[in-house]
């Protein structure tokens, strides 16, 4: 499975939220407005990559995600951890702490989650 581009990820966020949508509806929910043909072309590329499917209504297509947000997250978070953190979740947490992206309270919550799973 190929990784989504930044624009494709924006479109997928909209589709995951709406569950299905026509190009016009997707454009309405994007952070920056884009030209119809640009988004339509991007969505067709996403379809080729296996991320999006559609239902045809004549010449119009209603698009929906072919992969769940959770599936995508698992695949690419795992790759990021493997490629940038030596496959170590401890390195990820250390990085987040050093960058002040995670608080001590959040770390305590994570520890509770781990302890409760045992």
Q: Which of 56, 63, 61 is nearest to 17 (CA)?
A: 63
Does residue 18 sit in the same domain as residue 50? yes
| Residue 1 domain flag | no
Does residue 57 sit in the same domain as residue 74? no
CB atoms within 10 A of CB 104: 8
Does residue 13 sit in the same domain as residue 41? yes
| Domain count across the chain | 2
Give the chain's mean pLDDT: 92
Last residue of a domain, one of 65, 83, 98: 65
User: What are the pLDDT digits (tens) for 68-80?
Assistant: 999 999 888 888 8
User: What are the pLDDT digits (tens) for 94-115?
Assistant: 999 888 888 889 989 988 998 9
| Residue 28 domain flag | yes
Does residue 40 sit in the same domain as residue 53? yes
CATH number at residue 10: 1.10.10.10
Q: From CA 59, how far away is CA 61, in angstroms rounded?
A: 7
Report field, pTM of the whole predicted structure over 0.75: yes
Whether 39 has a pLDDT exceeding 80, the answer reads yes
Does residue 87 sit in the same domain as residue 109? yes
Domain containing 42 equals: 6-65
User: What are the pLDDT digits (tens) for 41-50?
Assistant: 999 999 999 9
The secondary element (H helix, E strand) that includes residue 64 is strand 60-65
| Residue 101 domain flag | yes
| Residue 14 domain flag | yes
């Amino acid at each position: 499975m190929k990784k989504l581009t930044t624009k494709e990820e924006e479109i997928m966020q909209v589709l995951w939220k709406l569950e299905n949508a026509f190009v016009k509806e997707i454009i309405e929910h994007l952070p920056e407005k884009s030209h119809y043909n640009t988004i339509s072309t991007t969505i067709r590329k996403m379809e080729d990559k296996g991320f999006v499917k559609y239902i045809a209504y004549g010449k119009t297509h209603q698009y929906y995600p072919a992969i769940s947000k959770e599936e995508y997250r698992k695949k690419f978070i795992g790759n990021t951890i493997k490629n940038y953190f030596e496959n170590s979740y401890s390195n990820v947490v250390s990085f987040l702490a050093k960058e002040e992206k995670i608080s001590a309270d959040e770390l305590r919550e994570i520890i509770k989650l781990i302890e409760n799973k045992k």
